[in-house]
Amino acid sequence: MPLPVISDVPAALRFLSRLPVRLPSEPAQDGPPDLDRLGPALPLAGAVLGLIGASVLIVAAGIGLGDFLAATLAVAVLVAMTGALHEDGLADVADALGGWSVEQRLAIMKDSRVGAFGVCALILAFALRVGALAGLLATGPLPAAAGLIAAVSVSRLAGLWMLAALPFARADGLARSAGVPGRASRWRALGVGLIVLIVLIVPLIGPTGLVGGALFGVVAFLLVVRLARAQFGGQTGDVAGAATILVEIAFLIGLLIFAH
């Protein structure tokens, strides 16, 4: 794997999470994120986050807490590390769907308050993630850990590709400051993500699980793209965050189905 991709992982981790990871050679303060440069490092940064969550998953299951509690603790650690960044996007998108026009939906999405739709979306998202992880734990701790690392890794491609899949829904917004990653950056990121999936999933779950999880993830991404185009006229940072969570859930569910 090219050295520049690996050296960009700390910056990608700071973009995706609250982890204070910084190389001595990096500036003390970060400017606006350059996703064209950071794109290929995002799946690796996601794998690091997933590895931390998977470690919690294995330890919790190993000390006898049971599949449900182990999965819940792993998801809780992921949420804490990311500062609920993507969950916030999912809640905002769900609330915005209650608007009657594109303008009203975008205004609702920008509102920091969480409504009933957002709360319901978060409850369902947590239930699906914990349930899928608990189901994978029933097949063994190592397959479950590999599945979690792979899911967190590959789902970080969703936000990257969303920026290029649709135009910006509003003239301002944080998503614009990151820029649109170029074709080469997106395909390199996809290649890195595929390597992570192959290394983790094929030995422990099998190629069928890899295909099933990837297929479910792609379908989830395409559905979010279609929804965002129809309801918001484009994408925002919240849409990218929602896509990340939904692809992660879909990948885990697909993996669980085909792991059996």
Question: What pLDDT, on the 0 to 100 scale, is given for residue 126?
Answer: 96
Nearest to 43 by CA among 171, 187, 169, 166: 187
Q: Which residues are paired to 47 by β-bridges? A: none
Q: Confirm whether 45 is domain-assigned.
A: yes
Predicted local distance difference test score (pLDDT) of residue 242: 94
How far apart, in Å, are the Cα atoms of 127 and each of 79, 156, 165, 177? 14, 20, 29, 33
Instruction: Let me know if residue 211 belongs to a domain.
Output: yes
The pair of three-digit structure tokens given for residue 80, joined into one six-digit string: 């804490």
State residue 197's pLDDT score.
93
- Residue 235 within a domain: yes
Q: Specify if 59 maps to a domain.
A: yes
Burial class of residue 171 (count of CB atoms within 10 Å of its CB; 0-12, 13-18, 19+) = exposed
| CA-based nearest residue to 153, from 191, 119, 126, 183 | 191
Residue 223's pLDDT is: 96
Which of 101, 80, 103 has its CA nearest to residue 19? 80
pLDDT at residue 32, as a whole number: 66
Q: Answer yes or no: is 82 within a domain.
A: yes
The domain in which residue 159 lies consists of: 3-17+41-259
Q: State pTM to two decimals.
A: 0.91
What is the model's pLDDT at position 99? 84
**28 part of a folded domain:** no
Residue 22 inside a domain? The answer is no
Task: Label each residue of the chain as H, E or C.
Answer: CCHHHHHCHHHHHHHHCCCCCCCCCCCCCCCCCCHHHHHHHHHHHHHHHHHHHHHHHHHHHHCCCCHHHHHHHHHHHHHHHHCCHHHHHHHHHHHHCCCCCHHHHHHHHHCCCCCHHHHHHHHHHHHHHHHHHHHHHCCCHHHHHHHHHHHHHHHHHHHHHHHHHCCECCCCCHHHHHCCCCHHHHHHHHHHHHHHHHHHHHHHCCHHHHHHHHHHHHHHHHHHHHHHHHHHCCECHHHHHHHHHHHHHHHHHHHHHHHC
Per-residue model confidence (pLDDT) at position 182: 83
Residue 29 lies in a domain: no
pLDDT of residue 1: 52
> What is the distance of C-alpha 166 from the center of its chain?
18
Contact 178, 32 (CB under 8 A): yes
* Domains held by the chain: number: 1
Cα separation of 145 and 230, whole Å?
36
List the pLDDT tens digit at each of the 260 positions of the chain: 555 677 788 888 888 888 887 655 555 566 666 788 888 999 999 999 999 999 999 999 999 899 999 999 999 999 999 988 899 999 999 999 888 888 888 888 887 788 889 999 999 999 999 999 999 999 999 999 999 999 999 999 998 999 888 888 776 655 555 667 788 888 999 999 999 999 999 999 989 999 999 999 999 999 999 999 989 888 888 999 999 999 999 999 999 998 86
Question: Is 241:180 a contact under the CB 8 Å cutoff?
Answer: no
